[in-house]
Amino acid sequence: MMQGAPQVDATGREAREALVRSALAQAIAMLQEARRVEGAALQRQFHSLAQRLCALVPTMSAAAAQRMSQHHALLLARLRELLTDVQAIGSEHVVRELAIYAERIDISEELVRLSAHGVALTGLIATSDEQLGRRIEFLLQEVGREVNTIGAKSNDLALTALVLEAKAIVEQMREQSANIA
């Protein structure tokens, strides 16, 4: 035997190892349960945020639709100020101007894609994919692009407010997606 080394009997060492294994198994079980509870809470929050985002699409569409009639009225009012007789210009000029304006501010494609991304996001959240965090992050980038494009085409206070709300939702989701493996 080595001199100075404490002697440990086999029974005492086995008892300590069993105690350590038991404590470790209990700690792992507690960690897994905490992760399951946190994951369920994250899933509920993501689902709620995705639903809020999807609910904004029809509201954005309605706000966008009102812009044309408002612009038409403003355009006619400006023309009346500048000219004594609007008929002197001809309605085809007003229609052409409105068509150009409508094309420039049209967000229908962005709303369709935003709606599709919202549905995809809701479906993705319900899965238990190992790459869930990365897939959510990618989809949120696409959602962010659509929201930014809508914001760039927005020239209306109501639509801009909706874009800001959508951006806040996307940012909340991005922050939480960092917590998903």
**Segment 150-164, tens digit of pLDDT:** 999 988 899 999 999
Q: Are 115 and 57 in contact (CB under 8 A)?
A: yes
Contact 112, 57 (CB under 8 A): no
**Residue 144 pLDDT level (bands cut at 50, 70, 90):** very high
Does 27 fall in a domain?
no
Residue whose C-alpha is closest to residue 100's, from 63, 71, 137: 71
**16 occurs within a structural domain:** no
* Residue 9 included in any domain: no
- Asked if residue 11 is part of any domain, the answer here is no
Tell me if 159 sits within 8 A of 62, measured CB to CB. Answer: no
- In this prediction, residue 1 carries a pLDDT of 47
- If we measure between CA atoms, which residue out of 19, 43, 63 comes closest to residue 163? 63
The answer to whether residue 65 sits within a structural domain is yes
Domain range for residue 80?
46-177
- The residue with greater pLDDT, 102 or 122, is 122
Q: What is the distance between the alpha carbons of residues 164 and 166, in angstroms, rounded to a whole number?
A: 5
Residue 174 or residue 97, greater confidence: 174
Q: What residues have CB less than 8 Å from 140, skipping those under 6 apart?
A: 121, 170, 173, 174, 177
**pLDDT bracket for residue 89 (50, 70, 90):** low
Q: For residue range 34-75, list pLDDT tens digits in order.
A: 888 887 888 888 889 999 999 999 999 999 888 877 777 777
- Structural domain contains residue 164: yes
Please say whether the beta carbons of 151 and 107 come within 8 A: no
Q: Is residue 149 domain-resident?
A: yes
Domain count, the chain: 1
Q: Report the b/e string of 126-161 with b at 16+ CB within 10 A.
A: eeeeeebeebbeebbeebbebbebbbebbebeebee
d(CA 152, CA 154): 6
User: For position 3, what pLDDT does the model report?
Assistant: 59
pLDDT in tens, 67-82: 877 777 777 777 777 6
Within 10 angstroms of residue 66's Cβ, the number of other Cβ atoms is 12
Q: What is the mean pLDDT of the chain?
A: 84
Angle between helices 132-153 and 157-177 (to 10 degrees): 160
- Has residue 102 got a pLDDT over 90? no
Indicate whether 33 belongs to any domain: no
